[in-house]
Chains A and B, each alone.
Chain A
Amino acid sequence: QVQLVQSGAEVKKPGASVKVSCKASGYTFSTYAIHWVRQAPGQRLEWMAWINAGNGNTKYSQKFQGRVTITRDTSATTAYMELNSLRSEDTAVYYCTRGNLPIDYWGQGTLVTVSS
């Protein structure tokens, strides 16, 4: 069965960076895009970026352009999301998700807390 297993919760100080991993299994990794979506407390879900797991092409939301980098390691069937220059408003649950058109599977989420 399709599984996306994310790395554990992180606590970071303002200005720091965080890197979240997403290990995929149960399907051919290179045939689906991986999207990153976040959910801040009391806010709606927010799409951040996606990566074509086959060729590595990426697309970022303008809101996060320049601050987020997504990569993948096809041999490890793992995707990564790195967010820089963290601020308190980045406190959220970050989800990796799979999907070429609709997003059809979600990881369990990674809570990133930004606090001084």
Chain B
Amino acid sequence: EIVLTQSPGTLSLSPGERATLSCRTSQSVSSSYLAWYQQKPGQAPRLLIYDASSRATGIPDRFSGSGSGTDFTLTISRLEPEDFAVYFCQQYDESPRTFGQGTKVEI
């Protein structure tokens, strides 16, 4: 199965700063079938980015995704207070679909 490794584990930033999150896959993800999700405590994950770089409906443009092959990045251009959460990547190229272990963005 494809293993996803996210870094860093925790990102300590302030509102207004830029956040850069990494997701590396153990083998190439074809068609860039990679998604990013945001999860806040006690809530279900929310889709942010799909196909590596397409924003989901209603997602602000401060969120952007990039990458291909085995290296993918989620960038939050200017952190808002509501962006402090855990972020997961997931590949849906091969079964079983697998997730990264998450990056916590904290103040």
Chain B interface extent, by class: 20 to 34
In the complex, the answer to whether A59 meets B44 with C-beta atoms within 8 Å is no
Interface residues in A61-102 by Cβ distance below 8 A to B read: 61-63, 95, 99, 101-102
A102 touching B99, Cβ below 8 Å: no
Interface residues as binary, A93-116 with B (CB distance below 8 Å gives 1, 0 otherwise): 001000101111111110000000
Give chain B residues whose Cβ lies under 8 Å from the Cβ of A45: 45, 88, 90, 99
Contact, CB under 8 Å: A102 / B100: no
Do most interface residues of chain B lie in helix, strand or loop, or is the interface mixed? Answer: loop
With A59-B95, A101-B50, A104-B50: A44-B101 Cβ-Cβ less than 8 Å: yes
Q: Does B85 contact A (CB under 8 A)?
A: no
Tell me how far the C-beta of B73 lies from the nearest C-beta in chain A, rounded to whole angstroms: 17
Please name 6 further chain A to chain B contacts, defined as beta carbons within 8 Å, in addition to the given A44-B101, A44-B102, A61-B95, sorted by A numbering. Answer: A35-B97, A45-B45, A45-B99, A101-B33, A101-B92, A103-B90
- Chain B residues with a Cβ under 8 A of chain A: 33, 35, 44-47, 50-51, 56, 88, 90, 92, 95-102
Which A residues contact B (CB, under 8 angstroms)? 35, 44-47, 59, 61-63, 95, 99, 101-109
